[in-house]
Amino acid sequence: MTGPAITVVGSVNLDLVATGKTLPAPGETVTGAVLARHPGGKGANQALAAQRLGASVTLIARVGDDAMADEALALLTAAGVDLSGVARDPGAPTGVALIAVSETGENQIVVASGANAAFTPERLGVLPAGALICQLEIPLATVVKAVAQAEGFVCLNLAPAAAIPDALFQRADLIVVNETEAAFYGEQIHRARGLVAVTLGARGAELRRGGELLASASPPKVEVVDTTGAGDTFVGALTLALLEERPLGEALAFACAAGALAATRAGAQPSLPLRSEVEALL
């Protein structure tokens, strides 16, 4: 059975991941790391997460007209995500994320946006029907235009944190932030019209509306390998679960379990779990 239709408007990157014993302090060089290359980008990660969990996903994004684009889109193609809305930009390279991961799974990330930064509003076509997921790794004006077009459920992952117009808070049916992002937005986030999910790392997540706690969930205990992509998995999973009209507590538990599973494997997209794996863990 085909799952709910979700369109993701967002970023595509190729992740260059160096895994070592510790993360460097400012000015420090850490040697002995192992390098890997994985498809990434918050938009692409959330699209693949939702697709693997059972949604029917369309990704709208921009990549460079280069070899890195094929590598960055490979797992999305294999999973059957509709990439007809992904354009190749001859004037900008595919986005790249430089990621350092410690042996405990913590990470540091620097992003060279490339074609993602060139995804300006005039390059956004008409959105397909269905739900919409956006993040903030593409120009804010493009996110604003996408949300204005949307007629169904809208999820905004307000990451990386940035000042956004109040209209986005009032339009979103679901806002997802981590603790750092929640602190950046402060009380503004609790004036949002819809649901607000705050992820708390190993402590799980909370779901609120107007500041009132509606549900909380803790993730299953897992052995953490790499937290890259866990938050994006949570976004895709929670959006899908709410579209399936699951009770709030059940939807949050599903998303926490999916995010926990993503942290048990290396890489952003290679780690994203299948629905059967999440259900087995639950």
**Among 15, 89, 226, 232, the one annotated catalytic:** 232
Distances (CA, A) of 274 to 50, 52, 278: 9, 5, 7
Peptide bond into 160 cis (omega under 30): yes
Backbone angles phi, psi at 185, to 5 degrees: -80, -25
Quote the DSSP letter at residue 148: H
C-alpha–C-alpha distance, residues 156 and 147, integer Å: 9
**226 carries an active-site annotation:** no
Question: Rounded to a whole number, what is the distance in angstroms from the first to the last CA of the chain?
Answer: 22
Torsion, CA 188, CA 191, CA 193, CA 195, rounded to 10: 80
Pairing mode, strands 13-19 and 5-9? unpaired
Q: Tell me the residue type at 132.
A: L
Q: Is 280 helix (H, G, I), strand (E, B) or coil?
A: helix
Residues annotated as part of the active site: 232
